[in-house]
Amino acid sequence: MPTASTGHHCSHLIMDLMRAQTRSRKTLTAPAPFADETSCHCQAPHERLTIAQARLGTPVDRPVRVYADGIFDLFHSGHARALMQAKTLFPNSYLLVGVCSDDLTHKFKGFTVMNEAERYEALRHCRYVDEVIRDAPWTLTPEFLEKHKIDFVAHDDIPYSSAGSDDVYKHIKEAGMFVPTQRTEGISTSDIITRIVRDYDVYARRNLQRGYTAKELNVSFINEKKYRFQNQVDKMKEKVKNVEERSKEFVNRVEEKSHDLIQKWEEKSREFIGNFLELFGPDGAWKQMFQERSSRMLQALSPKQSPVSSPTRSRSPSRSPSPTFSWLPSKTSPPSSPKAASASISSMSEGDEDEK
């Protein structure tokens, strides 16, 4: 049977779990707090863990406190990936991120693009960060580790020589508190600055075009005029390019339409020629129709011959006999000689005179 002490222990576990979930939700919905504005959430006495213990998992109220530090200038994906690795090193971890101040950074590393306040804020809004420590030390001391109850320090394994030391993490590694992370190749703050310096003219012209003054960009009067002239030239080139592209599009459309028109014309021409040949060709419908009409006209114009064997029709008494013309030559055989022909002609002329 469960005892009162067992129930009391379970209630403590539930409360610890709720507090952990609340901290997790707060990390994702609000910026991470600064270390000097909050207190350590560890309720149990702090005893430093071994890597084996941390990997097995710890109670909800005793997360593994992992520390990562850096400059984090021009915060980029390489920084975020390193912090993600530090956060996911152990099943239950609490990530503290130390950011060095401008004074320390300028002294040991060099000038930064972003000031310390901007770098602090950039870290606060990274989803993997649970707490930000401002003005972090360049070299970690036992007092600092004890103050923030740090179990492990996460950083890439490359020796970091600085401040008169071959590796500022050497004593951390010797104490068994160092956990390595992997660098992201192809991206770094130095790479980004190199790109800007290499293409300085491009970015100077870009910002002049966006309304920045030459004084703000620390650009001389001559360079300002040069950049503005180059901007005008680029605008003209862009306009010419746009006109060329539009002209090409117009020509392509005309070619397509011309091709379509030619195809349609060829189709219509073939159709017209086919219809013409069907109508007027050697075996066309027009020739057949003309032949039919010609045969009908010939039949209509030519008299019909009566059959030989048909009986002679008797004349009706009401009809008068057809008049005979005595002056017409009788159907006799042609004259056998020229003399006979002349005699017949003279007789015809005499007959005409008698009638007169």
Q: Is residue 352 part of a domain?
A: no
Q: Decide which of 297 and 323 is more confident.
A: 297
Question: 304 is written with which tokens?
Answer: 């019909």
The DSSP annotation for 92-109 comes to SEEEEEEE--HHHHHHHT
Contact 68, 152 (CB under 8 A): no
| SS3 of residue 65 by DSSP | strand
**Which range, of 6-10, 26-30, 217-221, averages the lowest pLDDT?**
6-10
Express as a percent the part of the chain with pLDDT over 70. Answer: 74
Is the pTM higher than 0.85? The answer reads no
The pLDDT score that the predictor gives to residue 305 is 59
The pLDDT score that the predictor gives to residue 270 is 81
- Say how far apart CA 9 and CA 6 lie, in whole Å: 5
What pLDDT, in 10s, does the model give residues 158-217?
988 876 788 999 999 999 999 999 999 999 999 999 999 999 888 888 898 889 998 888
Q: Give 210's contacts (C-beta < 8 A, 6+ positions apart).
A: none
Q: Is residue 4 part of a domain?
A: no
Residue 52 and residue 180 in one domain:
yes
CA dihedral 173, 179, 180, 184 (to 10 degrees): -140
Give the residues across from 99 on adjacent strands: 70, 134
The pLDDT score that the predictor gives to residue 9 is 45
Residue 164 and residue 34 in one domain:
yes
Among the candidates 294, 326, 351, a domain finishes at 294
Residue 168 and residue 214 in one domain:
no
Residue 82 and residue 135 in one domain:
yes
What pLDDT, in 10s, does the model give residues 215-247?
888 888 888 888 788 878 888 888 888 888 888
- CATH code: domain of residue 136: 3.40.50.620
Q: Is residue 328 part of a domain?
A: no
Residue 220 and residue 112 in one domain:
no
The DSSP annotation for 41-62 comes to ---SPP-PPPHHHHHH---TTS
Domain count, the chain: 2
The pLDDT score that the predictor gives to residue 163 is 66
- Say how far apart CA 176 and CA 53 lie, in whole Å: 13
Mean pLDDT value across the chain: 79
Distances (CA, A) of 277 to 254, 281, 286, 289, 314: 34, 4, 10, 15, 57
The pLDDT score that the predictor gives to residue 325 is 45
Write out the H or E segment, with its range, that includes residue 339.
helix 338-355
Residue 165 and residue 262 in one domain:
no
What pLDDT, in 10s, does the model give residues 108-160?
999 999 999 999 999 999 999 999 999 999 999 999 999 999 999 999 999 88
Residue 134 and residue 46 in one domain:
yes
- Say how far apart CA 239 and CA 229 lie, in whole Å: 15
pLDDT at position 1 over 70: no
Residue 196 and residue 221 in one domain:
yes
Interaxial angle between packed helices 285-301 and 221-280, expressed in degrees from 0 to 180 and rounded to the nearest 10: 30
Q: Which residue has the tokens 């057809």?
A: 322
Question: 318 is written with which tokens?
Answer: 């009401």
The pLDDT score that the predictor gives to residue 303 is 64
Q: Which domain covers residue 231, as residue numbers?
A: 190-294
Nearest Cα to Cα of residue 205 among 173, 239, 229? 229
Residue 237 and residue 280 in one domain:
yes
What pLDDT, in 10s, does the model give residues 60-102?
888 999 999 999 999 999 999 999 999 999 999 999 999 999 9
- Say how far apart CA 243 and CA 247 lie, in whole Å: 6
Distances (CA, A) of 265 to 259, 269, 280: 10, 6, 22
Confidence category of residue 308, pLDDT binned at 50, 70, 90 = low
